[in-house]
Structure 1
Amino acid sequence: MKILVDADACPVKHIIEKVAKELSIPVIMIIDTSHILDSDYSEIIQVSKAPDAVDIALINRTAPGDLVVTQDYGVATMVLGKKGYAINQNGRIYTNENIDLLMFERHIAKKQRRGGVRTSSIRKRTKEDDDNFEHSFRKLCQLALSKNI
């Protein structure tokens, strides 16, 4: 088992590494060439800036039982299809039970944006957001580890 991270805009890299170190889980962070990332723990893989290059590199490295951190519902869908685990930066665990609805909501929001409707605003990240992520991430790591034994 390993943890793969869509690390370009991931605000919880430090939490991922902290938990991974505690549980002795290897981490691979994937970024494109417009980002710089250093780590004493994680393997950093840098890919081209081509559209979806990070997503493709991440999925190509995902194996059954791996845990992926991504905010992209499409990537999460592919991870679930490969029998992996997926979570977003806010601690939402993607499952076969919720991914269809999330993909549908994404589709509707995209149609609305094309029509000129503003669908959401981005709020500043809080410590509570980080705490929620860490709690859910630990839970998912423990689940993945227990199934991989």
Structure 2
Amino acid sequence: MRIVIDGDACPVKQEIYQVAQKTQIPVILVSSYDHVSDKHPDQIEVVYVDRGADSADYKIIGLIQAHDILVTQDYGLASLALPKKVRVLHHTGKEYTYTNIDQLLEQRHHSAKLRRSGQRTKGPSKLTVEQKETFKELLTKIISEGDNQDD
């Protein structure tokens, strides 16, 4: 089991690092060269990818394995990861599942259609302290459960 982070816009990196350090779970941060940083613990493996809309997503799909935990806010990436028997978490403390992914993708498609027609859609709200704590609790729970996802 490893934690793989879709890192360019992940607002819960520090929370992940804290849980990983406590549980001794390896972490891989995937980020574009546009976001090079040395502000991560030494035990975190960082994988940089070229610029491009989907470069990090392709790299992540190539890296993840069954029993890994992926942290992303990208519904499309989440939908590609689920068949690989990966637990996929959103930074707000929600888990992507086969039960909710179709609805999330439909909402994303609908919002994209509205934007293409010139309408404005509301962006995500600022992440709250409570959401960060909920995320941390869910991550800890999933790690302690091991992998109970159906094979």
Query: Is the TM value for this pair above 0.5?
Result: yes
**Residues 1:42 and 2:44 aligned together:** yes
Structure 1 pair 21–53 and aligned structure 2 pair: CA distance change class (3 A): same
Q: Distance in 2 between matches of 1:60 and 1:45?
A: 12
Contiguous gaps of at least 5 residues in structure 2 = none
Who is 2:80 aligned against? 78
Structure 1 pair 60–26 and aligned structure 2 pair: CA distance change class (3 A): same
* Identity rate, percent: 37
Q: 1:5·1:68 contact (CA, 8 Å) conserved in 2?
A: yes
Which stretch shifts more, 92-101 or 127-136? Answer: 127-136
**Is the partner of 1:45 in helix, strand or coil?**
strand
Who is 2:54 aligned against? 52
Query: How many angstroms does 1:141 deviate by?
Result: 2.2
Q: 1:17·1:41 contact (CA, 8 Å) conserved in 2?
A: no
**Is the partner of 1:34 in helix, strand or coil?**
helix
Q: Paired residues, what number?
A: 147
Give the root-mean-square deviation of aligned CA atoms. Answer: 1.5
Contiguous gaps of at least 5 residues in structure 1 = none
Q: Which amino acid aligns with 2:10?
A: C
Structure 1 pair 106–140 and aligned structure 2 pair: CA distance change class (3 A): same
Query: How many angstroms does 1:146 deviate by?
Result: 4.9
Who is 1:3 aligned against? 3
1:21-64 deviation per Cα after TM superposition (whole angstroms, max 9, x unaligned) = 11111000010010023322210011100220001101100111
- Which stretches of structure 1, 4 residues or longer, exceed 6 Å deviation after superposition? none
Q: 1:4·1:69 contact (CA, 8 Å) conserved in 2?
A: yes
Q: 2:67·2:147 contact (CA, 8 Å) conserved in 1?
A: no
Q: Distance in 1 between matches of 2:30 and 2:83?
A: 20
Who is 2:18 aligned against? 18
Map 1:60-99 to 2 at 5 A.
60-99=62-101
Q: Which amino acid aligns with 1:75?
A: L
**Is the partner of 1:105 in helix, strand or coil?**
helix
